[in-house]
Chain A
Amino acid sequence: MRYSFIKPRQKRLVSAEFQLLFFFFSITVGMLFASYSYLKIKTIMYESNVETLLAKEETLRQNIVDMHEKIAFIEIEKQHSEGIYTANTVLKESIHNLFDLVPEKITLSQALLKEDELVLYGVTPSKEVYEYLLLAPLRSIFHRSYTSYYAMPNGWYSFVSKNYLDRELAVQ
């Protein structure tokens, strides 16, 4: 038996309006969370990237310092070796000049070269030959020259010539 002329509406737990409201708010909240997640992930990525870059920067800075030290050390080595090579060349030239200085008439038996001193032992036909041909050029190089002569049975003289460079005078 029917008591109403209309059909009874089907009862729902949540009405259509509620469903619509939930739907739109769900989308809104979902979008908000998606944006939040995107920002968070990107922020973490940037922070991680910054950490990596800072570590790289530190490594590069340390490497630059190390390389500058290496460059400085190579420069020191270069200067030092050039000094030694120059000293060797100067030494060669000095010995060359010394032997060129000795005239054919005078024979050397010994030569001792020190930093500020030259000692020559030799034989000369006469004192004059020694004085004109060897002592004069030696005096032009050294500050002090002392010579001792010893007469030989054949009329020649053996001599010992000591020549000194005075460091103080050389500096002036």
Chain B
Amino acid sequence: MKFHISRQMIYILALAVVCLIIVFVFAFAVLIPSGKEYRLARMEAKKVSYQVDVIQAEYDNVYEKLKALQADNRHIIGAYKTIFNPDRFKKMYEKHFESFTLSELSTHSRDGEFAVYEVNTSSLIQSPQGFYDFLDAVNKSDNITGINFPIHFERDANLIKSSFTMHVYIADQKSKTAETQVEQ
């Protein structure tokens, strides 16, 4: 039996082989690498997503801690930022004294992160109780104020003349100058 292959059949077979080669070349040279690339990108995305989830959880924890700390220490945080106003201070605390005068606020020193300003005060009190009440009240003031030595008491007729130094502490983490921090 004679097997006859026509010219057209040869063309078709040749074309089929060429197309098949193109398909294989495309599959192996382009499709499979891009599949690998896709798989790697997907794995990387999952890995990074997991990392971000972990960091987000840590962020949430730290944020909660910060908010709780800020809420618990609202007064202290505000007090360190509050501009010291001698007139307001005098108005608030003169009720404890017969007379109460404050000197000008002057830059004194630094205490770690805080700028320390010094105020000299002189006052007249009827009894030491006025001074005790002042010391109690100053711990609740708008500023962080420390009463410092030397403290001098002197009898003046029926009154007690007292003079002492106060230190006002202001947080100046961003190195603000005294002029911007303290309202003279």
A95 on the B face (CB < 8 A): yes
- Stretch of A111-119, A134-142, A154-162 contacting B (4+ beta carbons < 8 Å): A111-119
Interface readout for B59-81 with A: 1 if CB under 8 Å, 0 if not? 10011011001100100110110
CA distance A35 to B126 in the complex (A): 94
Specify the main secondary structure of chain B where it touches its partner.
Answer: helix
Asked whether A17 lies within 8 Å of B41 as measured between CB atoms, the reply is no
- Stretch of A65-73, A125-133, A143-151 contacting B (4+ beta carbons < 8 Å): A65-73
Asked whether B31 lies within 8 Å of A32 as measured between CB atoms, the reply is yes
Interface readout for B135-178 with A: 1 if CB under 8 Å, 0 if not? 11011000011110111111100000000000001010100000
CA distance A46 to B154 in the complex (A): 80
Please judge, given known A-B contacts A46-B45, A74-B73, whether A88 and B146 are in contact too, CB under 8 Å: yes
Q: In chain B, residues 17-62, which have Cβ atoms closer than 8 Å to a Cβ of chain A?
A: 19, 22-23, 26-27, 30-31, 34-35, 37-38, 41-42, 44-45, 48-49, 51-52, 55-56, 58-59, 62
Chain B residue numbers with a CB within 8 Å of A74 are 66, 69-70, 73, 76-77
B92 on the A face (CB < 8 A): no
Asked whether B73 lies within 8 Å of A78 as measured between CB atoms, the reply is yes
CB-based nearest B residue for A96: B132
We find that the number of chain B residues with CB closer than 8 angstroms to chain A is 64
Interface readout for A39-57 with B: 1 if CB under 8 Å, 0 if not? 1101100110110011011
Chain A residue numbers with a CB within 8 Å of B154 are 109-111
| Nearest Cβ on chain A to B66's Cβ, whole angstroms | 5
Chain B residue numbers with a CB within 8 Å of A60 are 52, 55-56, 58-59
CA distance A120 to B89 in the complex (A): 30
Chain A residue numbers with a CB within 8 Å of B69 are 71, 74-75
Size category of the A interface is 35 or more
Chain A residue numbers with a CB within 8 Å of B22 are 29
CA distance A156 to B77 in the complex (A): 54
CA distance A107 to B139 in the complex (A): 31
Question: 5 A-B Cβ contacts within 8 A?
Answer: A42-B42, A54-B48, A73-B113, A112-B153, A113-B151
Residues of B within 8 A of A (CB): 8, 11-12, 15-16, 19, 22-23, 26-27, 30-31, 34-35, 37-38, 41-42, 44-45, 48-49, 51-52, 55-56, 58-59, 62-63, 65-66, 69-70, 73, 76-77, 79-80, 111-114, 128, 131-132, 135-136, 138-139, 144-147, 149-155, 169, 171, 173
